[in-house]
């Protein structure tokens, strides 16, 4: 990383009133122009109120490593403290410092106005530098440090970062109530593959079904090298194995609403005491967890409990990249007749032949087609 220097960076579109006047008819009908002289020349230049670039002092960061801001603004290291974002509520963030202090923080304006592809500048899990106020528990987030292990999705054509700085993602699904959705699991696995986070597939409420029904599904994922856990908060089945998986690691728990994410965390660590609720009458989950929140586990490690997902749109994965993120399909890529084969309609396709012969799982192949063509 280079030394601090003056950098020319792009900012978000500001809220200044446009310089160009285009409501001449309305102005004439309301006021007339008797007392006004016409503007003979109208200019909009780079130095106007609509300028989108400014000069700041900081350091460039490799965007492939930062997963966020491309610059780190310069700060006074003598007056800041290191901390971790526990949760974010609108413009306010709760940050815990290394010595255990809790601060209510606002974000430095430059971080909010820098032009980035993400929706919010600060998210749960971020490591930040804060400047405390005197004699209060309030502070300002001066800088967001470089990130790793970022889980994101697309939201309104922008990057919605769910959590940062995690080692593994626990993809929670429900065997029943609500209905098991393997395609949602596949989408989350693709995101984990892209970002280098270890995916752990957890099938909860296994007590509601015949466990033998899920063995073929478990076998498909296990053959690809993914760890799969069958769990039940009612009977306690698999909870000790889950506790060992979370110990001394930084994890995020995700899944659709109602699958029992908070209930599982309460079962393995009662000290968390997270809010839970029953399913609605339509067998759909209620959004009991309303924001992603970082928790310290009593047996070591951290875990982020997240709100339930209705859908999971992939971010920064183009259709041509989807095939390479499917571990089971990837070995057949160079066996097709055509080098640019999409594995959907072409003749002599090695992937389609493997599906027809039973060497590849049909459901996984259909999941690939759905994600590639509908994203």
Question: 3-class SS at 123?
Answer: coil
- Please give the full DSSP string across 59-72, using - where no structure is assigned: EE--HHHHSS-SEE
DSSP 8-state secondary structure symbol assigned to residue 307: P
pLDDT reading at 65 higher than 60: no
The model carries a pTM of: 0.81
Which H/E stretch holds residue 363? Answer: helix 362-374
75 with 59: CB under 8 angstroms? no
pLDDT digits (tens, 9 = 90+) for 93-106: 999 999 999 999 99
The correct answer on CATH 3.40.50.300 for the domain covering 165-305 is yes
Write down the architecture of domain 319-374 according to CATH. Answer: Orthogonal Bundle (1.10)
pLDDT band (50, 70, 90) for residue 286? low
Cα dihedral sign, 313-317-320-322: negative
Domain residue limits, the chain: 165-305, 319-374
Q: What is the pLDDT of residue 49?
A: 46
Q: What is the pLDDT of residue 15?
A: 47
State which of 2-11, 39-48, 86-95 shows the largest mean pLDDT: 86-95
pLDDT band (50, 70, 90) for residue 50? very low
Which H/E stretch holds residue 88? Answer: strand 81-89
- Check if 165-305 and 319-374 are the same fold: no
Q: What is the pLDDT of residue 73?
A: 76
Rounded-to-integer distance, Cα 295 and Cα 265, Å: 10
Q: What is the pLDDT of residue 68?
A: 65
Question: How much is the average pLDDT of 161-188?
Answer: 92
Rounded-to-integer distance, Cα 184 and Cα 360, Å: 19
Quote the tokens at residue 61.
């960061």
- b/e for 22-38, b at 16 or more Cβ within 10 A? eeeeeeeeeeeeeeeee
Burial (CB count within 10 angstroms: exposed 0-12, middle 13-18, buried 19+), residue 55: exposed
Question: How much is the average pLDDT of 116-120?
Answer: 74
pLDDT band (50, 70, 90) for residue 266? very high
247 with 297: CB under 8 angstroms? yes
Beta strands at 250-254 and 302-305: parallel, antiparallel or unpaired = parallel
Question: How much is the average pLDDT of 132-145?
Answer: 89
């Amino acid at each position: 990383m280079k030394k601090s220097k003056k950098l020319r960076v792009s900012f978000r579109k500001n809220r200044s009133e446009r310089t160009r006047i285009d409501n001449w008819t309305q102005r004439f009908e309301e006021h007339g122009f008797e007392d006004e002289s016409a503007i003979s020349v109208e200019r909009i230049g780079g130095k106007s109120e609509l300028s989108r670039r400014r000069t700041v002092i900081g350091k460039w960061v490799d965007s492939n490593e930062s997963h966020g801001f491309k610059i780190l603004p310069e700060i006074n290291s003598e007056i800041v403290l290191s901390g971790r974002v526990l949760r974010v509520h609108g413009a306010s963030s709760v940050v815990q410092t290394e010595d255990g202090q809790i601060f209510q923080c606002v974000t430095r304006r430059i971080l909010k106005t820098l032009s980035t592809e993400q929706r919010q500048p600060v998210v749960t899990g971020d490591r930040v530098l804060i400047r405390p106020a005197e004699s209060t528990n309030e502070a300002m987030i001066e800088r967001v440090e470089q990130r790793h292990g970022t889980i994101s999705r697309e939201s309104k054509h922008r990057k919605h970062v769910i959590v940062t700085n995690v080692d593994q993602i626990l993809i929670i699904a429900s065997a029943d109530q609500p209905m098991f959705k393997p395609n949602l699991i596949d989408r989350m696995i693709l995101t984990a593959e892209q970002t280098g986070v270890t995916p752990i597939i957890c099938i909860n409420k296994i007590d509601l079904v015949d466990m033998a029904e899920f063995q073929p599904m478990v076998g498909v994922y296990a053959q690809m090298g993914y760890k799969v856990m069958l769990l039940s908060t009612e009977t306690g089945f698999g909870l000790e194995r889950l506790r060992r998986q979370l110990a001394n690691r930084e994890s995020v728990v995700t899944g659709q609403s109602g699958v029992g994410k908070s209930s599982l965390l309460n079962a393995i660590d009662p000290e968390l005491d997270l809010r839970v609720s029953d399913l609605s009458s339509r067998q759909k989950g209620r959004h009991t967890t309303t924001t992603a929140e970082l928790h310290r586990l009593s047996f070591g490690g951290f875990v982020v409990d997240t709100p339930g997902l209705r859908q999971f749109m992939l971010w920064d994965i183009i259709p041509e990249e989807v095939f390479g993120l499917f571990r089971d399909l990837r070995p057949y890529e160079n066996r097709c007749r055509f080098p640019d084969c999409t594995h959907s309609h072409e003749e002599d396709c090695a992937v389609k032949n493997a599906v027809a012969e039973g060497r590849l799982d049909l459901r996984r192949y259909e999941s690939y087609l759905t994600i590639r063509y509908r994203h």
